[in-house]
A and B are shown apart, each in its own frame.
Chain A
Amino acid sequence: MPLLQINHLGHTFGGLKAVNDFNLTLEEGELIGLIGPNGAGKTTIFNLVTGVYRATEGEIIFNGENIVGYPPHKINTMGISRTFQTIRLWDGMTVLDNMRVAHHSQVRYGLFDSLFHTPAYHRQEEEITEHSMELLRLFNFDRFADMPAGGLPYGERRRLEIVRAMAARPKLLLLDEPAAGMNPGEVDSLMEFIAWIRDEFKLTIWLIEHQMRLVMGICERLKVIDFGSTIAEGKPEEVRNNPRVLEAYLGEAAEELG
């Protein structure tokens, strides 16, 4: 059984068809990329999978369950975690608190326990803090634990978003342009980083990226979309030489070259 199966996914905003007949089968342990020009509908697909929008057509089957219409927090709890194109940490909160809140669905105590700090509260808070600190230590963030997340440098904040996404113990990690705004050196270390967390946590990773270096370097399979429709898919080398991809990406320049 595939981890994620998307059948005939479609979404319209008003009259605009943002995603059209999108299909995908994702096996456990894969690392695939979704590319396409600006406005092609990549982030919309992520938003559909994570429940920000409700798909108007098609189904999204995760672990054998159709998750269309589930609220975001439930989908996250089921094991799909994500990062964002523009960093969306809770800047005013400390790094540790960012991690703790990402464990929110693991809180089993009720309002009364959190008002009076009962033994049940302490037990679970200890577990949550311990898991948070464990992750922070693993990713070398423990020295920043008490700093506000907004005070970290840009690259660190991008990495922290990934660490925060790991709090829900996900099976599938969606990375939305993880290399945005990074220089070539930083992209190299990010590639190592992504490959490392995949092995360390036995994750399936699906990423959106513009930087061809990263996509070609680590993705095993690519899917290219434009105007909401799939225009190509396959191994990175195959996709690179596909004329439709070249046209969509490079437009007239490709034609001139061709």
Chain B
Amino acid sequence: MASTTTQTQVTGVRRIRVIDRLAVQLAETPVLSYLLGALVAVGLEAYFGYYIARLVGLRRAPVLFGSIAVLENFGNLDLSGILSPLIPASSAPAEPWAMSGRALINVLRVFISDIPPALLTLLQVLAYDIIIFVLPILVVGLLARRPVRWVVTRVPFLLTMLLQLVLLYIVIRIWGSLSDYRNLVLMFIGINVILTISLNLINGYMGEFSVGHAAFMAVGAYVSAVLTMWLFTNNAVFGEALLPWVTSLPFGIGNSIGFIFALLVGGLAAALVSLLVAIPSFRTRGDYLAIVTLALLFIVLSFINNLNAIGGARGLNGVPLWSTVTWVYVFTLLALFTVRNLVNSTFGKGIIAIREDEIAANLMSVNTKRVKLVAFMYSSFLAGIAGGLFAHVLAYVNPGTFGILKSTEVLVMVYLGGMGSITGSVVAAVLFTILLEALRPLGVLKWVIIPLILILLMLFRPQGLFGNREINLNWGSGRRAKKDMDYEASLMEKDASDAIVTD
């Protein structure tokens, strides 16, 4: 009896050690290695995706990892009539509560009958995702680990980083090439990453509370859209292009120059607007800043609504479709790179010191007013850029897009990822954008589920997924990778010695 207990204990310890070692290996595997795996995965999907989808019983390859396919099963829930007794209507039914009860029962019945097919689809897409994505990434990632590490320890860090970014770009392009919808989602992801990281600078790193981020996005969107339409393209709103020679420059660089110019001016305009609000509002703190930024949001929206020259409430139609996955990718990288640099600099650490203790920061030589202003303006600048990219995705902007819901969405992404975490912001923006798209089949229910997620998050993980920590990935700096190898070697040595002891 006693011996069996020790036996199980020993195997228990063994098992934990195996899992630990696998976790260590997965964490220490260079990102480059995983990217190779991802490349194999998207290649596999491009060539065999359809057949594997048929094999597991799906009609076609799932678009967003199958999330939409699963939820589509619940697409015919009819919620109308449940709340009718509470809503005054001109022609009230004879028995409002009974009607409502029947509607509720009907919804529940449909919901329950939808569960089995949804579960079946879930199994099918899981099988698809595992075969196409999880297995290749893990297997190739782990197999390529050693040669990749051999390479990255010998190649300058800058080169490795460049290689990784190019590889990521190729993976994204292959993944997106399978449908236009995927490209659209990719662009929304990038735009949301920029928005999240820029709001994180204010709400996370600086510890202020701004709810008017959509206002700066709106300014950027409108200013850049007006510029590209007015200066560079012919359209119904502004007539002929003012500077047609720009777009006729050779090799298509004209469009690029025009687009970058419009985006930058849009960002600068947003930064200027933020200056108008920042100077008076930084005399106040906390709740007051929230109210001031909220007021700004409404001012900007009513301004746009009443400006008929740019479409007013009807919106602005005919914005050139200049946003591409490539542009969004480039600007997302720039936003991440600059914000990371900023918060790691002594200048930017002043922003964090303001969050921790503003008076102490001011007394220890931080010009708090200036630092807050600069951070606020740069954050708004990035939001303006995101707005500009957004305006050129759908060829149409209207003021309704930039309402308080948009601000809330960005806030949710910031809090989901964690205040003051760049990697957290990226993960949250990716997850949340995909979730928003996946919940589309549910219609109105989307706005029940998303707040519910937010409430659960605040209850069980108020610091967000990652708090203010960063996810440690092995990006392949030579020194770092070498240290990891030493660490792994020491682990193996320890294992070997342990084995000797147990024997």
Listed in ascending order, the chain A residues whose CB lies under 8 Å from chain B are: 50-52, 71-73, 76-77, 81-82, 84, 88-93, 97, 100-107, 109, 111, 114-117, 121, 124-125, 128, 164-165, 167-168
A111 contacts which chain B residues (CB < 8 A)? 342, 347, 374, 378
Who on chain B is nearest to A125 by CB?
B346
B364-414 contacts to A (CB < 8 Å): 364-369, 374, 378
Interchain CB contact under 8 A, B342 and A73: no
B362 contacts which chain A residues (CB < 8 A)? 71-73
B363 contacts which chain A residues (CB < 8 A)? 50-52, 72-73, 76, 82
Interface presence of B267 (CB below 8 A): no
Given the complex of chains A and B, what is the CA–CA distance between A92 and B342 in angstroms?
18
Q: Within the complex, what minimum Cβ distance (angstroms) separates B311 from chain A?
A: 34
B346 contacts which chain A residues (CB < 8 A)? 100-101, 103-104, 107, 124-125, 128
Question: How many contacting A-B pairs (Cβ < 8 A)?
Answer: 104
Interchain CB contact under 8 A, B338 and A101: no
Interchain CB contact under 8 A, B347 and A104: yes
Interchain CB contact under 8 A, B360 and A90: yes
Which 7 A-B pairs have CB atoms at the shortest separation, nearest pair first? A90-B356, A105-B365, A114-B345, A88-B360, A115-B338, A76-B365, A104-B366
Given the complex of chains A and B, what is the CA–CA distance between A128 and B361 in angstroms?
17
B353 contacts which chain A residues (CB < 8 A)? 90, 93, 101, 104
Interchain CB contact under 8 A, B356 and A76: no
Given the complex of chains A and B, what is the CA–CA distance between A121 and B350 in angstroms?
15
Interface presence of B341 (CB below 8 A): yes
Interface presence of B173 (CB below 8 A): no
Interchain CB contact under 8 A, A117 and B361: no
B352 contacts which chain A residues (CB < 8 A)? 90, 92-93, 97, 101
Q: Report if A71-B367 is in contact (Cβ < 8 Å); known contacts: A111-B374, A117-B341.
A: yes
- Please give 10 more A-B residue pairs, beta carbons under 8 A apart, in addition to A76-B364, A93-B349, A104-B350: A51-B363, A52-B359, A73-B365, A76-B365, A82-B363, A111-B374, A111-B378, A114-B341, A115-B342, A128-B346
B297-337 contacts to A (CB < 8 Å): none
Interchain CB contact under 8 A, B364 and A104: yes
Max chain A C-beta neighbours (<10 A), residue from B342, B359, B360, B374: B360
Who on chain A is nearest to B346 by CB?
A100
Please list 30 pairs of residues, one from A and one from B, whose beta carbons are closer than 8 Å in the complex, sorted by A's number.
A51-B363, A73-B362, A73-B365, A73-B366, A76-B365, A89-B357, A89-B360, A91-B356, A92-B355, A92-B356, A93-B353, A93-B356, A101-B349, A101-B350, A103-B346, A103-B365, A104-B364, A104-B367, A106-B365, A107-B346, A111-B378, A114-B342, A114-B345, A114-B347, A114-B348, A115-B378, A116-B341, A124-B346, A128-B346, A168-B364
Max chain A C-beta neighbours (<10 A), residue from B338, B342, B349, B352: B349
B361 contacts which chain A residues (CB < 8 A)? 90, 101, 104
Given the complex of chains A and B, what is the CA–CA distance between A165 and B349 in angstroms?
17
Interchain CB contact under 8 A, B360 and A73: no
Q: Within the complex, what minimum Cβ distance (angstroms) separates B153 from chain A?
A: 23
B360 contacts which chain A residues (CB < 8 A)? 84, 88-90
Interchain CB contact under 8 A, A115 and B356: no
Interchain CB contact under 8 A, B347 and A97: no
Who on chain A is nearest to B363 by CB?
A72
A89 contacts which chain B residues (CB < 8 A)? 357, 360
Q: Report if A101-B364 is in contact (Cβ < 8 Å); known contacts: A88-B357, A90-B356, A93-B353.
A: yes
A51 contacts which chain B residues (CB < 8 A)? 363
Who on chain A is nearest to B374 by CB?
A111
Given the complex of chains A and B, what is the CA–CA distance between A91 and B346 in angstroms?
16
Q: Within the complex, what minimum Cβ distance (angstroms) separates A192 from chain B?
A: 25
Interface presence of B468 (CB below 8 A): yes
Q: Within the complex, what minimum Cβ distance (angstroms) separates B364 from chain A?
A: 5
Given the complex of chains A and B, what is the CA–CA distance between A81 and B364 in angstroms?
7
Q: Within the complex, what minimum Cβ distance (angstroms) separates A168 from chain B?
A: 5
Q: Within the complex, what minimum Cβ distance (angstroms) separates B359 from chain A?
A: 7
B368 contacts which chain A residues (CB < 8 A)? 73
Max chain B C-beta neighbours (<10 A), residue from A73, A101, A115, A168: A101
Q: Within the complex, what minimum Cβ distance (angstroms) separates B374 from chain A?
A: 6
Q: Report if A115-B350 is in contact (Cβ < 8 Å); known contacts: A76-B363, A88-B357, A105-B365.
A: no
Q: Within the complex, what minimum Cβ distance (angstroms) separates B321 from chain A?
A: 29
B347 contacts which chain A residues (CB < 8 A)? 104, 107, 109, 111, 114
Interchain CB contact under 8 A, B365 and A102: yes
Who on chain A is nearest to B364 by CB?
A102
Q: Report if A77-B365 is in contact (Cβ < 8 Å); known contacts: A88-B359, A93-B356.
A: yes
A93 contacts which chain B residues (CB < 8 A)? 349, 352-353, 356
Q: Within the complex, what minimum Cβ distance (angstroms) separates B33 from chain A?
A: 27
Q: Within the complex, what minimum Cβ distance (angstroms) separates B162 from chain A?
A: 16
Q: Within the complex, what minimum Cβ distance (angstroms) separates B109 from chain A?
A: 52
Given the complex of chains A and B, what is the CA–CA distance between A114 and B340 in angstroms?
10
B345 contacts which chain A residues (CB < 8 A)? 114, 117, 121, 125
Who on chain B is nearest to A81 by CB?
B364
A76 contacts which chain B residues (CB < 8 A)? 363-365
Given the complex of chains A and B, what is the CA–CA distance between A97 and B361 in angstroms?
12
Who on chain B is nearest to A103 by CB?
B346
B369 contacts which chain A residues (CB < 8 A)? 71
Q: Report if A115-B341 is in contact (Cβ < 8 Å); known contacts: A101-B346, A107-B346.
A: yes
Interchain CB contact under 8 A, B367 and A100: no
Given the complex of chains A and B, what is the CA–CA distance between A164 and B353 in angstroms?
13
Given the complex of chains A and B, what is the CA–CA distance between A76 and B350 in angstroms?
15
Q: Within the complex, what minimum Cβ distance (angstroms) separates A218 from chain B?
A: 24
Who on chain B is nearest to A90 by CB?
B356
A50 contacts which chain B residues (CB < 8 A)? 363
Q: Within the complex, what minimum Cβ distance (angstroms) separates B462 from chain A?
A: 16
A117 contacts which chain B residues (CB < 8 A)? 341, 345
Q: Within the complex, what minimum Cβ distance (angstroms) separates B424 from chain A?
A: 15
Q: Within the complex, what minimum Cβ distance (angstroms) separates B339 from chain A?
A: 8
Given the complex of chains A and B, what is the CA–CA distance between A90 and B352 in angstroms?
9
Q: Within the complex, what minimum Cβ distance (angstroms) separates B360 from chain A?
A: 4
Interchain CB contact under 8 A, A73 and B367: yes
Given the complex of chains A and B, what is the CA–CA distance between A97 and B351 in angstroms?
12
Q: Within the complex, what minimum Cβ distance (angstroms) separates B342 from chain A?
A: 5
